[in-house]
Amino acid sequence: RVAGPCVMVLFGVTGDLAKRKLLPAIYDLGNRGLLPPGFSLVGFARRDWKDQDFAQLTHDAVKAHARTPFREEVWKQIREGIHFVPGEFSDDGAFDALAMALAEIDETRGTGGNYAFYLSVPPKFFPVVVEQLKRTGLSDAPDGSWRRVVIEKPFGHDLKSAHELNEITTSAFPESSIFRIDHYLGKETVQNIMALRFANNLYEPIWNRSFVDHVQITMAEDIGIGGRAGYYDGIGAARDVIQNHLLQLLALVAMEDPTSFEANSLRREKEKVLKAVRLPANLGLNTARGQYSAGWQGGEKVVGYLQEEGISPQSTTETYAAIKLEIANRRWAGVPFYLRTGKRLGRRVTEVAVVFQRAPHLPFSKDDTEILGQNALVVRVQPDEGITVRFGSKVPGTAMEVRDVSMDFAYGESFLESSPEAYERLLLDVMIGDPPLFPHQREVELSWNILDPIEEFWATQGQPEPYESGSWGPESADAMMARDGRVWRRL
Ligand code: BG6
């Protein structure tokens, strides 16, 4: 899969995402030979910079964060296509200069008027940037060329604002030119959920309410909010990752098989599942929210959320969220899906665990069957990417004793190929114009539809329950599972 010649215009070049993910991903694509000939990278920011300053920032970001080794010839290829346009988003002159710079790049590098505009900026700037792209005609693709816009979450704050944001974006770009990034869909292990389910005949017959007891989707992080107070406060764990990453995981795990992996077929199946999601009647008992307090992590003393720089000491923003959902369709009726995420938890791990019902009868001694867990299939999204199946096995010896064991698939052992970073895959897809791994606006809105009532309920609940940094979250999350006679998986 290779892209044709094009320009990537990056708004927000000095941001964290650009430095840690986007610029290194561009380099890694170059290193894998996947950047198109003539590829050019234009940075736009409110800095009094020349091309060489942006090149320096890119160089530093690549050196610090690229996954592939630094090679001078790859860097040289990228460096040749680097340009910088200084300016404010509200400055017409700066956007006129951008349009001129792009026309010149087309002349000198043969990029043919193909531009991807990557808005790595807070959503409050979307309207003005989109307006400028419209005013300068940059959003209109002349015949034979393309114009695409890439937007990063958060896609709004709730259903209403997501809708408004979309109105703004679609006023300048047709839906087919809008690429909404949910970087979890760019992860190998996440795409592999589809391969696991639909390339095999082993799992699908038992992937339903007749065999599955429940599903647990966990995204645990050991980091706190770092320098992201401005973004995170008032948003919280559920809007930050459940609305997007975890509901996308749920959709992939629960959807029916798409007729193909073409965007419309795949999105349609995800939408059907999201539409069938039901909230429990009692949100107080079936959701949990927490906020990290001081504690120890990785041998270091860390402060609580309320003491983080830039956070109001009265903040009611949650840094941990757990919710129980059901899916009202024939395959899943009555099977709970438990979703949880949190910052400053015991360790960084994301996984999807499909937990099966117990065998209907166990002809073993009572002692044995008491220690036997439920069968589970666990997709280890990260780290230690792979899949584990947990099942009972005979303990070697002269008695018929049984115990849980694991069967593991690990990427590193089965494949020589290394996994591209999520952003590498997604940036390449943008340049190629391949949309399946980008959520449609309908998915975004269906996900807000699920979250909005929970957020509204939480807004009436005051302070989230504190949990110690380095622990596994608030007690109310364990109590929520215990009421259902279940426990969170120990990670
Ligand atoms: C982002 C969230 O979308 O995902 C962050 O905004 C979170 O809060 C990050 O830390 C985690 O991504 P990953 O790829 O490290 O799991």
pLDDT at 373 over 80: yes
| Residue listed under structure tokens 């120890």 | 296
CA–CA separation, 450 and 265 (whole Å): 22
Mean pLDDT across the stretch 341-354? Answer: 97
Distance CA 428, CA 2 (A): 8
Provide the 10 A C-beta neighbour count for residue 345: 27
Per the structure block, which two tokens stand in for 208?
Answer: 């339903």
Q: Which residue has the higher pLDDT, 226 or 223?
A: 223
Quick check: is 245 catalytic?
A: yes
- In SS3 terms, 132-143 reads as HHHHCCCCCCCC
Residue bearing tokens 């299939």: 377
What is the DSSP secondary-structure string of 27-72? HHHHHTT-SPTT-EEEEEESS---HHHHHHHHHHHHHHH-SSPP-H
- Examine the pLDDT at 32 and tell me if it is beyond 80: yes
Average pLDDT over residues 203-223: 97
Residue 365: the pLDDT is 82
Please give the mean pLDDT across all residues of the chain. Answer: 95
Residue type, 160: K
Among residues 157, 183, 245, 440, which one is catalytic?
Answer: 245
Q: Tokens for 414?
A: 């089965």
Give the span between the Cα atoms of 240 and 246, in whole angstroms.
Answer: 10
Residue 232 alpha carbon, nearest atom of ligand 1: 8
Strand partners, 270: none
Distance between CA atoms of residues 280 and 339, nearest Å? 13
Q: Tens digits of per-residue pLDDT, 55-97?
A: 999 999 999 999 999 999 999 999 999 999 999 999 999 999 9
Ligand 1: does its nearest atom lie under 6 Å from the Cβ of 424? no
What are the CB-based long-range contacts (under 8 Å, 24+) for 346-349?
A: 346/220, 346/222, 346/470, 346/471, 346/472, 346/491, 347/220, 347/222, 347/491, 348/220, 348/221, 348/222, 348/223, 348/382, 348/383, 349/218, 349/220, 349/380, 349/382, 349/383, 349/491
Q: How far is the CA of 146 from the centre of ligand 1 (A)?
A: 30
Q: In this predicted model, what pLDDT tens digit does every residue of 108-129 receive, in sequence order? A: 999 999 999 999 998 889 999 9
The stretches of 301-371 forming alpha helices (DSSP H) are 366-371
Angle between helices 247-254 and 441-458 (to 10 degrees): 120
Percent of the chain residues past pLDDT 70, beyond the cut: 100
pLDDT band per the 50, 70, 90 thresholds, residue 106: very high
Over its C-alpha atoms, the chain yields an Rg (Å, rounded) of 24
Residue in 324, 321, 266 with CA at minimum distance from that of residue 455 = 321
Cα 443 from Cα 428, distance rounded (Å): 22
What are φ and ψ of residue 266, in 5° steps?
-65, -45
Mean pLDDT of 148-163: 94
Residue 145 Cα, ligand 1 centroid: separation in angstroms? 34
Q: Among 349, 162, 341, 379, which residue's Cα sits nearest to residue 242?
A: 341
CA count, 13 A, side-chain hemisphere, 197: 20
* Average pLDDT estimate for 259-281: 97
Query: What's the CA-to-centroid distance between 480 and ligand 1, angstroms?
Result: 25
Cβ(131)–Cβ(106) below 8 Å: no
3-state secondary structure of 290: strand
Q: Alpha-carbon dihedral of residues 351, 261, 277, 205, nearest 10 degrees? A: -70
Is residue 28 lining ligand 1, measured as CB closer than 6 Å?
no
Residue 369 pLDDT? 74
Structure-token pair, residue 241:
């990752």
**Which numbered atom of ligand 1 lies nearest the CA of 187?**
14
188 Cβ closer than 6 Å to some ligand 1 atom = no
The ipTM estimated for the assembled molecules is 0.98
Residue 366 in this model has a pLDDT that exceeds 90: no
Ligand 1: centre distance to CA 245 (Å): 9
Residue 298, CA atoms < 13 Å, CB-side half-sphere: 9
Distance CA(292)–CA(466), nearest Å, equals: 6
Residues ≥6 apart with Cβ < 8 Å to 417: none
pLDDT over 80 (residue 367): no
Q: What is the pLDDT of residues 158-197, one digit of tens each?
A: 999 999 999 999 999 999 999 999 999 999 999 999 999 9
B/e letters for 15-43, b = 16+ CB within 10 Å, e = fewer, are bebbbebbbbbbbbbbbeebbbebbbbbb
Which residues is 242 bridged to in the sheet? Answer: none
Assess whether the C-beta atom of 240 lies below 6 angstroms from ligand 1. Answer: yes
Percent pLDDT > 90 in the chain is 91
| Alpha helical stretches, state H, 298-421 | 366-371, 411-414
Confidence band of 226 (pLDDT split at 50, 70, 90): confident
Could you write out the three-class secondary structure of 125-183?
Answer: HHHHHHHHHHHCCCCCCCCCCCEEEEEECCCCCCHHHHHHHHHHHHCCCCHHHEEEECH
Residue-wise pLDDT for 300-344, tens only, equals 999 999 999 999 999 999 999 999 999 999 999 999 999 999 999
Check pLDDT > 90 for residue 299: no
Tokens for 251? 């959709």
Spatial CA neighbour of 250 closest among 193, 311, 169: 193
Whole-angstrom Cα distance, residue 235 to residue 458?
A: 12
**Residue recorded with tokens 């409110």:** 46
| Secondary structure class of 407 (helix, strand, coil) | strand
Question: Can you tell me the distance from the alpha carbon of 446 to that of 276, in angstroms, rounded to the nearest whole number?
Answer: 10
Rounded distance from Cα 221 to ligand 1 centre (Å): 8
Ligand 1 lined by 241 (C-beta under 6 Å): yes
**Residue 206 CB neighbour total at 10 angstroms:** 14
Return the H-helix or E-strand segment holding 106: helix 92-109
- Decide whether any atom of ligand 1 lies within 6 Å of the 152 Cβ: no
